[in-house]
């Protein structure tokens, strides 16, 4: 599948560890993503949902936060942190492309 044919404008990224949450959030911020209405203290974010922590990002370059279950119920595609961070990940190329 070519990146441009992906039908989603939104993506959930499951971050079951604090380390993964911090790593992904920092990469997203570096690419110009901003937090939407949220104080981004990583420790306190992860403590709320723990292993079910999920970041949600959109084409407008916003970062949202919630539980994996919330995003699944809303029908959004969710990828694992490892899949998102993998070298050559189609999700990373898709989201960081202009």
Whether the model clears a pTM of 0.85, i.e. scores above it, the answer is: no
- What pLDDT does residue 45 have? 75
Over 60: is that where the pLDDT of 96 sits?
A: no
Strand order in the sheet with 62-67: 34-35, 62-67, 53-58, 10-14, 78-80
What are 21-78's pLDDT values in tens digits? 999 999 898 888 998 866 667 777 778 889 999 999 988 889 988 899 988 998 888 9
């Amino acid at each position: 599948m070519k990146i441009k044919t992906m039908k989603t404008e939104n993506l959930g990224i499951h971050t079951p560890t604090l380390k993964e949450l911090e790593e992904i959030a920092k990469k997203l911020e570096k690419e110009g993503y901003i937090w939407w209405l949220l104080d981004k203290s990583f420790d306190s974010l992860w403590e709320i949902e723990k292993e079910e922590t999920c970041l949600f990002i959109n084409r407008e370059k916003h970062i949202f936060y919630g539980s994996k279950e919330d995003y699944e119920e809303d029908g959004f595609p969710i990828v694992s942190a490892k899949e998102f961070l993998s070298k050559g990940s189609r999700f990373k190329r898709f989201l960081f492309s202009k």
